[in-house]
Amino acid sequence: MNPSENNLKIGIVGATGAVGQELIRLLHERSFPYSVLVPLASGRSAGKTLSSGDKSWIVKEARPEAFDDLDVAIFSAGGAITKELAPQAAGRNCIVVDNSSAFRMEDDVPLVVPEINGNVLEKSRSNIVANPNCTTAITLMALYPLHREFGLTRIIASTYQAVSGSGAEAIEELRLQAKAILDGGEYPPQVYPNQIAFNLLPQVDVFLDDGYTKEEMKMLHEGRKIMGLPNLQVSCTCIRVPVFRAHSISATAQFERKPCIETARKAISAFPGAELRDDPANGVYPMPLDYSEKYDCGVGRIRYDAALENALALWVVGDQLWKGAALNAIQICEALRKYGRI
């Protein structure tokens, strides 16, 4: 379909989740034009009322027929539901923008960070477009502008991931657990396998045979696909930290050519969606608290890496629920509109 301005019908699958709520908020904050918005969720959540500002919607059950009348649906649901439902929606000519990892690595499915490779949407005819892993998207917002300057060859990254990445229940678990512990009590872990308050969990997602987690390998596979760098080398260690909603990444990036810090800073500053915050001597560097509920990803601590040739070390922070999920998905919808796909 190719509806005229303001005639767009949009669905949100997983509307009651942490990302779903942010999607509805950001669609309005960014004045995304639509005529109809349909929040969809499991049968369990159907009938609930969602509201944003002075508007409210009744949640409907996410069944295949629900997509017959929609132009685009942003999916933020579990992998199993998505694998079943997204192809059915796409088959009914509703374009799917999917937050899950279900289709990201399929050859004909575009995997998009609009500032980096939004132009792939111009030619693709796929009815499914994948939204990248949150940590990968945020890391690339710092590394892609540097790649254009110096030619990225290798990333060694350690992450500091907020609990928002595990959903609304995890945010609540950190809050209640920290409170219980500070009051001298206990709050047994439910979402996580271990206590997250005042602790660190060196596990995000499940382990693969090589000792990496799926999450850690996403930066390799998705990074290669998004930036079109099939030979990129990536080693990543993903750690869950007791922070509510912004992810941080400490990265060493190695390049083909000798990097220059001043050029790097200018490239970050000039890149839409990245914000240079790099005057450490004056206490200026990005922190998760400052990048929660913010569109831009903050980049700082840029320096020549002391251990690797032609490399920079840096620190990047971005809102996991926004650039890591909802914002990027809406930016994909905006790009689909620009290219006349919706």
Residues that bind a second copy (CB under 8 A): 154-156, 158, 160, 174-175, 178-179, 182, 193-195, 198-203, 207, 210-212, 217, 220, 233-237, 239, 241-244, 248, 250, 252, 261, 280-281, 283, 285-289, 300-308, 311, 313, 315
Nearer to a second copy, 47 or 280 (CB): 280
**Cβ closest to a second copy, residue 65 vs residue 307:** 307
Q: What is the DSSP letter of 53?
A: T
Distance CA 106, CA 240 (A): 28
Is 238 one of the catalytic residues? no
H or E stretch at 104: none
Q: How far apart are CA 135 and CA 155, in angstroms?
A: 13
CA–CA distances in Å: residue 273 to residues 57, 75, 270, 317: 31, 23, 9, 12
Distance CA 213, CA 338 (A): 36
CA distance 166 to 169: 8
Choose the catalytic residue: 134, 236, 238, 297.
Answer: 134
User: Which residue has tokens 């080398």?
Assistant: 233
Closer to a second copy by Cβ: residue 62 or 264: 264
Task: Return the SS3 of 134.
Answer: helix
134 included as an active-site residue: yes
Structural contact between residues 9 and 36, judged by C-beta atoms closer than 8 angstroms: yes
Q: DSSP letters along 230-283, please? A: TT-EEEEEEEE-S-SSEEEEEEEEEESS---HHHHHHHHHHSTTEEE--BGGGT
The residue among 43 and 280 lying less far from a second copy, judged by its C-beta, is 280
Nearest-approach distance from CB 239 to a second copy, in angstroms? 7
* Nearest CB to a second copy, comparing residues 29 and 305: 305
DSSP states of 189-238: -SSSSS--TT--BS-SSPBPTTS-BHHHHHHHHHHHHHHT-TT-EEEEEE
Active site positions, annotated: 134, 247
